[in-house]
Structure 1
Amino acid sequence: MRVAPPPGMLEALERDLGLSAAQAQARLLNEARLTPIAEQLGKLLGPRFGGAWLRGNSAHTLVVATTSAADIPLILAAGAQADVVTRSLGFLEGIKEKIDNTLAVAQAVQDIVVNVDVVRASVAVEDAGSLPGGFRQGGFEGIGVSWTFRGVELR
């Protein structure tokens, strides 16, 4: 059974992603077809699962990441492309949680502009002067995050 997308969804995909009507329709169909495969592979890979994403304008290719090359045959057998990564999705989610918790403290002091890139495990702070001294000295130490203050990268 095919379910129609919510009103405006196709138009939004066309507008926001620059897709044709046929590409937008194909994208939604591919997302519906490939998402259950990604979810199943995530369960099978467990702590080695590095995430999944759809590639191409019409989302025609499912890519599943793993931290173990031994999982490649399983991923390929499910009809997806494999990508071996160094960090699992669970690890990245843990970093994101620590960043969110740390930034909550900083933002309680003063609003600052912060850009967080979870995939690269990096944080860019536009106004380091607004952060408490202890935070500037190592609020992210020990969680595997690099951060940049005013263009100077600290590790």
Structure 2
Amino acid sequence: MRRTSALRTTVVALLLTVGLGAAHTVPAAAEPPSATPTASAGLLEAMRRDLGLTDHQAAERLRAERDAARVEAEARRAAGDSFGGAWFDARSGRLVVGLTDRGDEAEVRALGADTRLVRHSAGALDRAKARLDTRPAPAGVAGWHVDPRSNSVVVTVVRADRDLPAVRAFVDRARATGPVTVAETAAAPRTYAAGTVGGDPYYTGNVRCSIGFSVHGGFVTAGHCGRAGAAVRGWDGSAMGTFQGSSFPGDDYAYVSIHSGWWTVPVVLGWGTVPDRLVRGSAEAPVGASICRSGSTTRWHCGTVLAKNETVNYSQGAVYQMTKTSVCAEGGDSGGAFISGDQAQGVTSGGWGNCSTGGETWFQPVNEILGRYGLTLHTA
């Protein structure tokens, strides 16, 4: 395999999957964050553009979010069964932790978090959502997730379909399972598939996709890019590797092993918009944290984490345990890397909208993929 530019020599892996209609479909323990947050000029520029922050505000927010990720893990252990979820408050720059027992407030606050007394524990909300996961949903229901801020399970319906009998019946059944609130969205989620276009892709059959994150021996990406056993060609058309595992729907992740002549690097491509990002771990960012996405179609865009553990109701079937973001994406961005600071978060699955008018995008968390296939993230 030959690389013809300095950029290609430096970066082999990062991607966004793109599947055509014929494609098999779409939608480890986390390593601790590095001691010193990395905030390149390019990353700050992207956060300024997409989040409306100054460079100073963006740098301060990255520091605060890294602290919040650490505090969330500690607060979860301290609160035990009283833990009612947590989220990052961008205004205060602090983590907020919901608690069902007022007696745990002092201990959690001592960790550096703010607290809010809630009615339902995170465990109770997760069980309510799990009951919903066993029910088929009509196309007018976009998905559902546990929302720590409202302390409920949020069922999201497509605005134009909200009064359809099937949608109303699903919502009524959902409310019978536990604390449920209803939200609306402009459009149903779809996988980010598109025809073959330029960029730095890999190919399988008539599908063009992009790498998510390098792992030792290959890379992870979205499951709708190809079935296990499918051959993969690199950006230059040469033989690159093979899908060793793939799951979709239900999940949307895959593992591709690579052949000799290709190599892995702990890098997310910046596409010239921002400097390439080194990957140093996979500590999970909290709800409310800023997050950025790299994709071969729309390149680099940022937003915030809106929800976790959401069930997304694609036309091909439901995909579980997804993370919802305000980041835009378009066809061809599927499978690409979501990263927060220097911490890998997940691979792009699908969403609605575009990068001209806005939208929402979901990703499959990377730690779940690593655990499923017994992989080790390639880190700097």
TM, length-normalised to structure 1 = 0.71
Q: CA deviation at 1:21?
A: 0.8
User: Does the Cα contact within 8 Å between 1:99 and 1:140 map onto a contact in 2?
Assistant: yes
Measured on the aligned residues, the alpha-carbon RMSD in Å equals: 3.1
Alignment of 1:16-55 (within 5 A): 16-55=50-89
User: Deviations along 1:42-99, whole A, 9 cap, x unmatched?
Assistant: 0121121111222234x62221111100011112222221111111112222222333
SS at match of 1:131: helix
User: Deviations along 1:101-124, whole A, 9 cap, x unmatched?
Assistant: 32xx124xxx22446463333535
Q: 1:6 to 1:46 in 2, by over 3 A?
A: farther
Q: CA deviation at 1:145?
A: 4.2
Q: CA deviation at 1:15?
A: 2.3
2:153 matched to 1:121?
yes
Alignment of 1:62-141 (within 5 A): 62-102=95-135, 105-107=136-138, 111-114=139-142, 116=144, 118-119=146-147, 120-123=152-155, 125=157, 126-127=161-162, 129=164, 131=166, 139-140=173-174
Matched residues in 2 for 1:54 and 1:116: separation? 20
Matched residues in 2 for 1:137 and 1:66: separation? 27
Q: CA deviation at 1:128?
A: 5.4
Matched residues in 2 for 1:47 and 1:28: separation? 29
Matched residues in 2 for 1:45 and 1:34: separation? 16
Q: 1:35 to 1:127 in 2, by over 3 A?
A: closer
1:121 alignment partner AA:
V
SS at match of 1:106: coil
Count of aligned positions: 141
User: Does the Cα contact within 8 Å between 2:155 and 2:171 map onto a contact in 1?
Assistant: no
Higher fraction of helix: 1
Q: 1:141 to 1:127 in 2, by over 3 A?
A: closer
SS at match of 2:131: helix
Q: 1:77 to 1:14 in 2, by over 3 A?
A: same
User: Deviations along 1:10-31, whole A, 9 cap, x unmatched?
Assistant: 3332222211111111111111
Higher fraction of strand: 2
Using CA pairs below 8 Å that are at least 6 residues apart, which structure has the higher relative contact order?
A: 2
**Identity between Structure 1 and Structure 2 (%):** 28
Q: 1:97 to 1:7 in 2, by over 3 A?
A: farther
1:61 alignment partner AA:
R
SS at match of 2:96: strand
